[in-house]
Amino acid sequence: MQGILKMTDQIIRDWREKAGKTYFKEELDEREPLVREILELKKQKNALILGHNYMTPDVFHGISDFVGDSLELAKRSRDSQADIILFNGVHFMAETAKILNPTRKVLIADLKAGCSLAESMTGEDVRQLRAKYPGVPIVSYINCTADVKMEVDIICTSANAVKIVESLPSDTVLVVPDGYLAQNIQKQTKKKIIPWPGKCMVHELYTEFDVDMARKSFPKAKIVAHPECKDTVTAKVDFTGSTSQMGKYIRESGAAEVLLMTECSMGDNLRSEFPNVTFISSCQTCPHMKKITLAKVRDALKYEQFEVTLSDETIRRARASLDRMLAVV
């Protein structure tokens, strides 16, 4: 008991230090009891908490067992032995966890934490595309519903998109639902990519003008973008990659000044990992990711809500598309 209390105190100290790079002391004081309650519930219920890189620092640090990008978290959820997996991210991510580990109880703290990309396409849209382009393989970005996952041939993420497209034995490939990711893949492959016009409501806001202005204002800064940005934007930046690949780039490049063209919490979370790097804020907020708060996380564990459920048929077919990706990477 003494040991467990000591461990909790150590986690709290670490949480205060890291989240303290973003919040005032009073805000930490107010939230600390919630963090303690979550840590206790997590133990009681044998729950695993996964946190996407876009979680706010109070949710990202301390309570998460693992944090990362969509690909890393998908792998973690597949391998978990916990009774409950609480996914702090958006709904398609929690669905992916359920598909990869269907015997676990998978929870998300707010069912309305959606994604503009996932909402841009239905399973019926995929069936119509298949009828229009018979024999052309369909790759879906992991930011899609389980209904879309069950209809496509293979899934990709921002960390492996080009590799997945290259792995297919076809000169033409349909890439859905992110039109900008499709454009970015097209720049890196000789295959003909047929896109779907879905967009991330956060990353589509960045323009070439923003990059030009950033270069003028901060000539020494490395500019880093997510592949959900337009290809005209990614063409002008120093590095484009998944949320975790951004961290890796900063570590390996030794950059002293970084300007991130991605969701706001990414910079907040990286700031505590790289105290010697100056992060210039050029961020946009994802309203879906921001629906996950400490109070909702506590309630999710306390009341075991909101459970993500899928039919056996959906799980079986969506799993096949995910497994094909996981066999490549």
Instruction: Determine the Cα–Cα distance for residues 32 and 171; give it in Å rounded to an integer.
Output: 54
Near ligand SF4 by CB under 6 A: residue from 76, 104, 149, 288: 288
Residue 292 CB, nearest approach to ligand SF4 (Å): 11
Q: Which two three-digit tokens encode residue 101? A: 């580990």
> Which is nearer to ligand SF4, 18 or 203 (by Cβ)?
203
Residue 295 CB, nearest approach to ligand SF4 (Å): 21
Residue 146 CB, nearest approach to ligand SF4 (Å): 16
CA 42 from centre of chain:
22
Near ligand 13P by CB under 6 A: residue from 95, 210, 228, 268: 228
Residues 6+ apart with CB under 8 A from 141: 117, 155, 156, 157, 158, 161, 175, 176, 177, 178, 181
Residue 264: C-alpha distances to residues 53, 57, 283 (Å):
10, 10, 5
Helix, coil or strand: residue 98: helix
Residue 41 CB, nearest approach to ligand SF4 (Å): 26
Residues 6+ apart with CB under 8 A from 290: 56
> Which is nearer to ligand 13P, 228 or 268 (by Cβ)?
228
In the chain, the amino acid numbered 250 is I
Instruction: Determine the Cα–Cα distance for residues 233 and 141; give it in Å rounded to an integer.
Output: 20
Q: Which of residues 11-50 bind ligand SF4 (CB under 6 A)?
A: none
Q: Which of residues 6-65 bind ligand 13P (CB under 6 A)?
A: 53
> Which is nearer to ligand SF4, 35 or 202 (by Cβ)?
202
Residue 90 CB, nearest approach to ligand 13P (Å): 7
> Which is nearer to ligand 13P, 157 or 184 (by Cβ)?
157
**4 phi, psi to nearest 5 deg:** -65, -40
Near ligand SF4 by CB under 6 A: residue from 58, 153, 231, 263: 263
The binding site for ligand 13P (CB under 6 A) comprises 53, 69-70, 143, 157-158, 200, 226, 228, 242-243
